[in-house]
Amino acid sequence: MPALASGAGHEPGLYELLEALPSQLHPHVCCPEDSTFLQNMFEKRNLHLLVKIYERLQHFNTSKPAPIVDRVTDLTQEVSQELEAKTVACVDINELFKLLAKPHMKSLLSVHDTVAQKSYDPELPLLPEDMEDNEESVKIIRLVKNKEPFGATIRCDEQTGAILVARIMRGGAADRSGLIHVGDELKEVNGILVDNKKPEEIINILARSEGAITFKVIPGIKEDTPSNEPKVFVKALFDYDPMEDKAIPCKEAGLAFKKGSILQILSKHDTTWWQAKLEGNANPCAGLIPSKHFQERRFALQRPVATQPITRTSSRRSSRTDGFRRSFRLSRKDRKTNKSMYECKKSEMYDTADVITYEEVTTYCRPSRAKHRLVVLVGPTGVGLNELRRKLLISDPHHFSMTIPHTSRAKRNQESDGVEYHFISKHLFEADIHNNKFIEYGEYKGNYYGTSVDSIRSILSKNKVCILNVQPHTIKQLRTAEFKPFIVFVKPPTIERLRETRKNAKIISGKDESGSAKPFTEEDFHEMINTAQIMETQYGHLFEKVIVNDDISTAFSELRLALQKVENETHWVPVSWTHS
Ligand SMILES: Nc1ncnc2c1ncn2[C@@H]1O[C@H](COP(=O)(O)OP(=O)(O)OP(=O)(O)O)[C@@H](O)[C@H]1O
């Protein structure tokens, strides 16, 4: 028997059966000639290879690989032309040239192209001749369907009871056929009358059918399908599972997606159910998603999570504002404690609920001379934002920078204006607050501290990357075409890992009025994890990168890599950022 590898890793399939058959059939074959014939047949290498190919195809059926190019024969021709002149110069080139010219290779590549271009659908058969005279307006459609869904939804007309095609999914089997249209009335499927059937029953008939399906339809009035529509992409700001959606007209036609997924909108024709596909997905068939308007209405009817009160992890009174970081993120560290010294003034830690559904996006790659995108770090207090920022600044001080805060407190002897702080009068500080000059500001022991918009601009204009640590509610103000912020959420690891990694670390306790650094307590860890969860629920849709700060060097490398990508690679950003 040829030494062929068995389908290891797959479930026992045809190949294994083929190997076992000769011995199993042996007792049932009386004639020795038949026995030899069967023995030889089952041992044929070609048969084994065929079965292997079958098993591979079964495997690919589930993994659905997509071709990189669909005209590899053209590519081979070009390569051969290039190689022809150089065959004398190099043995390897000569060998490759001959290999590409072999008929087997050419056939293999041609088969590749046929499969890649999906041009293997059989020709549709001619219309049946036994059509009745009074059926001129009836159309007989014969579709050859494989395992993919039919790609259309149907509905029952409330008044007439007729079964109508409700929508055709863009790129699906029905759409590609070009034969079925919205509004067509379905009369028969595979010879079965559908008049008195419920849409679910018809869907079942369709789902079970493979190969040729014959439809008898009365064509509806054709709508003009707009062509050359510009491509519209949106970022999903919520998770969606059609299987959990009671309102969707056909669960199987729905498209599941996660918060942050990029969706290409293929049709907004139906104001309640848009058609979309996941960006980068090779499957051309659209799926149904709730339209922006519909989803907004549904969210508005639900009680928004954002307005729910925060569950405290401890009954002990904490001076931290609503569980968020005590330090005002943008401050320089105080010289004595090496820590930020003031609290955030704003008490609106949680925005009143924005209805978040989809955001229209487009690709953006920073032109080499353009200003850098603002890098914003957010996370619960004590998670390590200052530590990560410090590491970035040390790693490349000419490239990364942080803002210098303003303060109304008096300058101390050893301090210089514009180094530790910009020192301004209380009166001027208040005027600047009034004129919205601060991204964040706060008050500590009667003095104001704040970070101005101009201090960010000043760094960006020097062609440096500005690293900003802010409270999450500030993100909204920063999301402008000018700053194009890249938002990184730093989240804590598990409580066990916090205990292990933060053994020697210190945090400024919100319960300690002196503001001195103390070792982390269990309560600090719980509060950090709890706050991170709330932040993720409320602001998760704005985060472009989430880093778990477990081991500090790993977290730092991850951050560094993400920032390199932001500088050099294409990212999805809100459309409004590119129309300035
Ligand atoms: N991955 C880590 N492993 C061990 N210690 C860490 C890690 N990340 C941060 N730390 C330490 O935890 C302490 C708090 O970190 P850091 O000051 O950066 O927090 P923060 O997020 O800026 O919070 P705050 O704004 O309240 O100061 C520091 O002592 C820091 O060195």
Whether 267 and 139 map to the same domain: the answer is no
Ligand 1 centre to CA of 111 (Å) is 59
Please report, as a single letter, which amino acid is at residue 284.
Answer: P
In angstroms, the CA 386 to CA 388 distance is 5
Ligand 1 centre to CA of 534 (Å) is 19
Instruction: Give me the CATH number covering residue 289.
Output: 2.30.30.40
| Cα atoms found within 13 Å of the Cα of residue 177, Cβ hemisphere only | 24
Where are any strands of DSSP class E within 256-326? 262-267, 273-278, 287-290
Whether 326 and 269 map to the same domain: the answer is no
Running DSSP on this structure, what letter comes out for residue 411? P
Ligand 1 centre to CA of 432 (Å) is 31
Whether 265 and 142 map to the same domain: the answer is no
pTM of the model: 0.63
Ligand 1 centre to CA of 383 (Å) is 5
In angstroms, the CA 283 to CA 530 distance is 39
Q: Which atom of ligand 1 is nearest to the CA of 384?
A: 18
- 386, 511, 551, 554: residue to mutate for ligand 1 pocket, most atoms within 8 A of CB: 386
Ligand 1 centre to CA of 565 (Å) is 25
Residue 264: beta bridge partners? 233, 277
3-state helix, strand, coil in the chain (%, to 5): 35, 20, 45
Evaluate whether residue 224 is within a structural domain. Answer: no
**Pseudo-torsion of CA 101, 105, 110, 115, nearest 10°?**
-160
Ligand 1 centre to CA of 494 (Å) is 15
Which of helix, strand or coil describes residue 121? coil
Which of helix, strand or coil describes residue 565? helix
Evaluate whether residue 148 is within a structural domain. Answer: yes
Evaluate whether residue 128 is within a structural domain. Answer: no
Ligand 1 centre to CA of 318 (Å) is 19
Evaluate whether residue 187 is within a structural domain. Answer: yes
Q: Whose CA is nearest to atom 16 of ligand 1?
A: 384
- 387, 474, 524, 559: residue to mutate for ligand 1 pocket, most atoms within 8 A of CB: 387
Whether 503 and 387 map to the same domain: the answer is yes
Q: Whose CA is nearest to atom 12 of ligand 1?
A: 505
Evaluate whether residue 408 is within a structural domain. Answer: no
In angstroms, the CA 304 to CA 349 distance is 15
Answer for the pair 375, 467: CB distance below 8 angstroms, yes or no: yes
Answer for the pair 429, 408: CB distance below 8 angstroms, yes or no: yes
Distances (CA, A) of 431 to 2, 343, 376, 438, 512: 88, 20, 26, 11, 32
Q: Which atom of ligand 1 is nearest to the CA of 490?
A: 21
Whether 509 and 371 map to the same domain: the answer is yes
In angstroms, the CA 384 to CA 547 distance is 11
Whether 486 and 549 map to the same domain: the answer is yes
Residue 469: beta bridge partners? 377
Answer for the pair 60, 16: CB distance below 8 angstroms, yes or no: no
Whether 189 and 334 map to the same domain: the answer is no
Residues with C-beta less than 6 Å from any ligand 1 atom: 325-327, 329, 339-340, 379, 381-387, 501-502, 505-508, 549, 552, 555
Given 165, 192, 218, the domain boundary residue is: 218
Ligand 1 centre to CA of 332 (Å) is 15
Evaluate whether residue 422 is within a structural domain. Answer: no
The position carrying tokens 């690919």 is 60
DSSP letters of 470-495?
Answer: --GGGHHHH-STTT--EEEEEE---H
Answer for the pair 26, 39: CB distance below 8 angstroms, yes or no: no
Q: Which residues, 6 or more positions from 132, have their beta carbon under 8 angstroms from its beta carbon? A: none
**Pseudo-torsion of CA 179, 185, 190, 193, nearest 10°?**
-170
Whether 103 and 150 map to the same domain: the answer is no
- 502, 511, 516, 547: residue to mutate for ligand 1 pocket, most atoms within 8 A of CB: 502
Q: Which atom of ligand 1 is nearest to the CA of 340?
A: 27
* Torsion sign, CA atoms 179, 181, 185, 186: positive
ipTM of the complex as predicted: 0.98
Whether 48 and 168 map to the same domain: the answer is no
Whether 146 and 207 map to the same domain: the answer is yes
Q: Whose CA is nearest to atom 11 of ligand 1?
A: 505
The 3-class SS string of 527-555 reads HHHHHHHHHHHHHHHHCCEEEECCCHHHH
Whether 526 and 553 map to the same domain: the answer is yes
Evaluate whether residue 129 is within a structural domain. Answer: no
Q: Which atom of ligand 1 is nearest to the CA of 387?
A: 18
Please report, as a single letter, which amino acid is at residue 49.
Answer: L
Evaluate whether residue 127 is within a structural domain. Answer: no
Answer for the pair 18, 52: CB distance below 8 angstroms, yes or no: no
Ligand 1 centre to CA of 521 (Å) is 13
Please state the domain count of the chain. Answer: 5
Q: Whose CA is nearest to atom 27 of ligand 1?
A: 382
User: For every one of its 580 residues, what pLDDT tens digit does the chain have, with 9 covering 90 and above?
Assistant: 333 334 444 555 677 777 788 788 878 877 888 888 888 888 888 888 888 888 888 887 777 778 888 889 999 999 999 998 888 888 899 999 999 999 999 999 988 888 888 766 555 555 556 655 555 578 888 887 777 777 888 888 887 888 888 888 888 888 888 888 888 888 888 888 887 788 888 878 777 777 778 888 888 765 555 555 678 999 999 999 999 999 998 888 899 999 999 999 988 888 899 999 999 887 777 899 999 999 998 888 775 544 443 333 333 333 333 333 444 433 434 433 333 434 444 434 444 446 689 999 999 999 888 999 999 999 999 999 999 999 999 999 999 999 999 999 999 999 999 999 999 999 999 999 999 999 999 888 899 999 999 999 999 999 999 999 999 999 999 999 999 999 999 999 999 999 999 998 988 755 555 567 789 999 999 999 999 999 999 999 999 999 999 999 999 999 999 999 999 999 999 999 987 5
Closest CA to 535 of 524, 522, 549, 546: 546
Q: Which atom of ligand 1 is nearest to the CA of 505?
A: 29
Whether 297 and 389 map to the same domain: the answer is no
Ligand 1 centre to CA of 141 (Å) is 67
Given 218, 241, 267, the domain boundary residue is: 218
Q: Whose CA is nearest to atom 1 of ligand 1?
A: 552
Closest CA to 225 of 284, 176, 278, 267: 267
Ligand 1 centre to CA of 554 (Å) is 14
Residue 99: alpha-carbon gap to chain centroid: 42
Closest CA to 313 of 28, 26, 43, 521: 521
Instruction: Give me the CATH number covering residue 337.
Output: 3.40.50.300
Parent domain of 278: 232-301
Instruction: Give me the CATH number covering residue 165.
Output: 2.30.42.10
In angstroms, the CA 254 to CA 273 distance is 9
